[in-house]
Amino acid sequence: DQQVKQNSPSLSVQEGRISILNCDYTNSMFDYFLWYKKYPAEGPTFLISISSIKDKNEDGRFTVFLNKSAKHLSLHIVPSQPGDSAVYFCAASEINQFYFGTGTSLTVIP
């Protein structure tokens, strides 16, 4: 049973607009959440993370929001750029194990 879910397989956004990628989880014991970006034929690359004790973390154009009561995580990219086109995975961690969602393919249209 998938503990981390990304219900949108794909998303298209115009350059300069906001991209919002969503992620839901079921395990309330997760204490650390991450977003990874993946280009074809490469491994995932770490993008941004958030601890369960926080509800927001920002890094430049990327902001991650955590709503623990809803067990929901989102990644905001503002403004979106064509180079952001990639597959984005959310992940959640408990002790030494990481659980990944199925990914959302983001296309930023110039």
Partner 1 sequence: NAGVTQTPKFQVLKTGQSMTLQCAQDMNHNSMYWYRQDPGMGLRLIYYSASEGTTDKGEVPNGYNVSRLNKREFSLRLESAAPSQTSVYFCASSGLGGQPQHFGDGTRLSIL
Interacting residues with partner 1 (CB under 8 A): 2, 4, 6, 31-32, 34, 36, 41-46, 49, 89, 91, 93, 96-103
Distance separating alpha carbons of residues 83 and 71, to the nearest angstrom: 29
Question: Taking a C-beta distance cutoff of 8 angstroms, is the pair 17, 5 a contact?
Answer: no
Q: Write down the least CB distance from residue 4 to partner 1, Å.
A: 8
Q: Which is nearer to partner 1, 42 or 110 (CB)?
A: 42
Q: Write down the least CB distance from residue 12 to partner 1, Å.
A: 19
Distance separating alpha carbons of residues 37 and 64, to the nearest angstrom: 14
Q: Write down the least CB distance from residue 16 to partner 1, Å.
A: 28
Name the residue among 27, 41, 7 with its Cα closest to residue 99: 27
Distance separating alpha carbons of residues 30 and 105, to the nearest angstrom: 24
